[in-house]
Amino acid sequence: MNSLDDPVILGQAYYPHNILITHPGHLNDIYDELLTLEPIKYLFKFLDDVPDKVFAYKREQICANLSTLLGFCQEVLEIALILEIIDRPETKAGDFILRDGTLRPLQVKQSYLVKLGEYAHHKGVKVVAVTKQSLTKMELAYTFKQIDNYLQDQLKYEYPFVETDPKRKKLCCWFEIPDVVLKAAYQGDMFIKKSIRGGRGFGLFMAARLDYVEKLQNYDWLILDVKYLLQSVMEDAFDTLSLIIKMRS
């Protein structure tokens, strides 16, 4: 969000007050504090509804144990931060928001996620969720190997490279993951349904083969959950992801 080489210069941290758990009642205190955080309040104002309607689970289920509660808090806060970033004055049409995971959190009902996705689209902001580990990667392991063999052993010799290091001469590609693969990986879970009703979230699953990155050799293939699909959008997302990961390395 600046013109310098370092891609991260603007940050915002939110620190909770309730972090010590000595009895079950403290779980409810953490839940209540979550609702008082500014990004969460802003999210509910945008959605124009109350937590009991927005959240997919009741308070009793969320506060059943610390692990479930903290996972819930993280997911909801990350969704709220998408909205916060969209509406920051520094964010312009054509910018990307990168999220770790997918655009299909189970904690927020789909209709509200779709509303957020439509708003991002209206503002011209592209939301891309990046998953390093995914069931679809296991399902596509053989396919990835065959694609890599074709790209690196046959096709790349037809193209000139500026890079001189052989291990950095990598061809990249991306494709939408077909329904048959998603169904096999997730066994028919509504999590994968590509619909704005009766499914989860608002994105499309893609697989992307990244350029060579020294510190991410096990993550050459990433699963992307993209807000909406246009060829130019996906190409821009792919180039941006490659650049960011290179800079991080």
Q: What is the pLDDT of residue 76?
A: 95
Tokens of 185: 């990986």
Return the bridge partners of 207, or none: 175, 223
- What contacts 24+ positions apart, CB below 8 Å, involve 142-145? 144/207, 144/209, 144/221
Among 4-18, 30-44, 130-144, which is the least confidently predicted range? 4-18
Return the bridge partners of 174, or none: 208
Higher pLDDT, 233 or 10: 10
Q: For tokens 């903290």, name the residue.
A: 70
Between the CA of residue 44 and those of 63, 128, 173, 210, what are the distances in Å? 20, 22, 39, 37
Higher pLDDT, 219 or 199: 199
Dump pLDDT digits (tens) for 161-206. Answer: 887 887 778 888 888 998 889 889 888 777 888 777 888 888 888 8
Q: pLDDT grade, residue 16 (50/70/90)?
A: confident
Dump pLDDT digits (tens) for 48-97. Answer: 999 999 999 999 999 999 999 999 999 999 999 999 999 998 888 988 89
Residue type for 148, please? D
Secondary structure, 3-state, the chain: CCCCCCCCCCCCCCCCCCCCCCCCHHHHHHHHHHHHCHHHHHHHHHHCCCHHHHECCCHHHHCCCHHHHHHHHHHHHHHHHHHHHHCCCCCCCCCEEEEECCCCCCCECHHHHHHHHHHHHHHCCEEEEEECCCHHHHHCHHHHHHHHHHHHHCHHHHCCCCCCCHHHCCCCEEEECCHHHHHHHHCCCHHHCCCCCCCCCCCEEEEEECCCCHHHHHHCEEEEEECCCCHHHHHHHHHHHHHHHHHHC
Cα separation of 34 and 158, whole Å? 55
Would strands 126-131 and 204-209 be described as parallel, antiparallel, or unpaired? unpaired
Cα separation of 197 and 190, whole Å? 10
**Which residues are CB-contacts of 83 (< 8 A; sequence separation ≥ 6)?**
39, 42, 43, 46, 116, 119
Residue type for 69, please? L
Between the CA of residue 241 and those of 13, 70, 223, 224, what are the distances in Å? 24, 28, 12, 10
- Residue 2, pLDDT above cutoff 70: no
